[in-house]
Structure 1
Amino acid sequence: MDNRWHEIETSGTTCTPLSVRVYSNEGKVRTPPLVLYLRGGSFLAEGAQCEELPVAKALAESGAVVIEADYSTGSCNEFPAVIDRAFDALDCLSNSRKQYGSAKSLLFVAGEEAGGNVAAGLALKARDRMPGKLAGQILLSPMIDPLMASTSFRDADKIGMRQRWAEGWSRYLAKACGVAHPYAAPCQCTRLDRVAPALIFTAEDDPLRDETVNYAARLRDAGIQVRLHVFPAGSGWTGLYRGEGGKWLSAVCDEFSGFVQDLKN
């Protein structure tokens, strides 16, 4: 699998080149799902990272073409620049489906932790700016609640993430002037109707579990098709925050395959 980054041209307003990395299996299917993937990093990690993402790699090995986009370079990990860069990548991928898959390939956005926040915000923006083009959103422990006050979040110290997440939110919302835009904090969005169907993952021992499960419930209440998978405690899921995979990767791929099949039916 090629882990080299390359720059692409976009028609958006961002002033710096956008770097992407493609994960794909040599045995491509005829119309592979196309997944724009956004890594975690708590809005603190900057620049294109050399380490391959376990989930992105696993999805590619299961038949998808996954395009990881570097949303931090040029955005300083601040809203709204992060969403603008991610939207440029999604728009470019939507208009270049034949280059990576086929004109009939379904388009998805996926993200883990901070990238899950961006993916959820991007799904909302796609609903507003490019309706009908995004087939689904895949959220892996999305970091979507800046209040960090849920019951499960009390366990953040156990995995050494409380301070990091607090610093990340402070950085991401530095220019928000105390008001979190729905694209920046999707859990506070009051209008979730017509957003793309969602495949959502968390775990019983995930500090972000409550905000993730609550967001899934709110999407369902808005009439959105939601597929929620909660891993049991001790599954190693929180290794996701350190860029680690695990036995749960196969379940993620199985759920993704089922999600795609449901959308085709």
Structure 2
Amino acid sequence: MDVELVEQAALRPADDLSDAAAARGRDRERARQGTLLGLTELPEIPRHDRTVPGGAGAPEVPVRIYVPDSVGADAPVLLWIHGGAFMLGDLDGSDSWCTRLAAAGECVVVSVDYRLAPEHPYPAGLQDCLAVLDWVVAAAPEHGWDPTRIAVGGSSAGAGLAAGVALWARDHDGPALVFQLLIQPVLDDRRRTPSSTGLAGVPVFDSPALEQMWRHYLSGWSGDVPPYAAPARAEDLRGLPAAYLTAADADPLRDEAVEYAGRLTEAGVPTEFHLFPGTFHGFDVCVPDAGVSRRALREYGETLHQALHPLTRA
């Protein structure tokens, strides 16, 4: 374990996700104690909340929009999808992610407050994200955004949803996304890799929690699991937008990220992958001031900037 992460790792045992209400209570308490990403030293970014139309028969979707002073007309947009095992998280918990990425990427960030499992299992959350993506494209002329420079990104379960959005957009003539920012992504419900089954007891998120997460998320689904729920199930990854993926070392999600990055590369998708040694799932959230976390956060922003501003340097 990275020496700067050891103390916090000992304080963050893997969560029990069997009871969603109890897990949410613990998540709110952690947020109250200020253990989430970057509650200090953040740039001031103007933001506002609103709702946008949901999909057919679905409720409106709350979003929070971040517009840095540095962006002008034809600003690029990042659609951000928060993590939380498909069960936890909200707009407030994403503030630090979105503030950092909006500033570093010199882009508008639209953060999605999608419906959560187990009350709203797949495909509800994905449908909300797709509805917001459609709204971003339709609203781009009114707001002065560039509809040809839209990226999608997220962390953990949010990164899995982001990968699902990219697959759906490709397969259903959706918007031509330019980039996927997939930070420690959830990708494969089959749990057939060594890390997915062999990392019980690691900090924050372990193999038993991975099983509990998928059971909640897919509780309303019968039949074959579609790739939009578990992107690693996609047989063909050609034609997807350029991708940046990360993985943490002691993380049950590690191996599926390694495999997905390799498959994207084999499919001709421009792909960058970074495995951070000596880390655990959400290390960049739990210990943002550690050297490895600062390096990771800086890399996320620089990579996003380069994808959205390909003719300039970050």
Q: Do both share a fold (TM > 0.5)? A: yes
Q: TM-score interval w.r.t. the shorter chain?
A: 0.7 to 0.9
Distance apart, 1:24 and its partner CA: 2.5
TM alignment of 1:121-160, pairs within 5 A = 121-131=164-174, 133-153=176-196, 154-155=198-199, 157-160=201-204
Q: Distance in 1 between matches of 2:311 and 2:215?
A: 37
Q: Is the 8 A contact 2:180 2:244 kept in 1?
A: yes
Percentage of matched positions with identical amino acids: 26
- Cα 1:158–1:3, aligned 2, differ >3 Å: closer, same or farther? farther
1:58 maps to 2:100: yes
Residues 151-178 of structure 1: per-residue CA shift (max 9 Å, x gap): 2333352114233322211111112225
- Cα 1:80–1:19, aligned 2, differ >3 Å: closer, same or farther? same
Q: Is the 8 A contact 1:94 1:133 kept in 2?
A: no
Indicate the residue corresponding to 1:117 in structure 2.
160
Q: Which of the numbers 291, 303, 309 marks the counterpart of 1:255? A: 303
TM alignment of 1:190-205, pairs within 5 A = 190-205=235-250
Q: Is there any run of 5+ residues in structure 1 with no aligned partner, and where?
A: none
TM-score, scaled to structure 2: 0.74
Q: Which has the higher contact order (CA 8 A, sep 6+)?
A: 2
TM alignment of 1:19-34, pairs within 5 A = 19-34=62-77
Distance apart, 1:49 and its partner CA: 4.0
Residues 67-87 of structure 1: per-residue CA shift (max 9 Å, x gap): 001112699341122221111
Q: Which of the numbers 195, 212, 228 marks the counterpart of 2:257? A: 212
TM-score, scaled to structure 1: 0.86
Q: Which has the larger radius of gyration?
A: 2
Residues 174-219 of structure 1: per-residue CA shift (max 9 Å, x gap): 1222521111111011122212221212233443221111101111
SS of the residue aligned with 1:72?
coil
Q: Distance in 2 between matches of 1:77 and 1:165?
A: 18
Give RMSD over aligned pairs. 2.7
Distance apart, 1:101 and its partner CA: 4.0
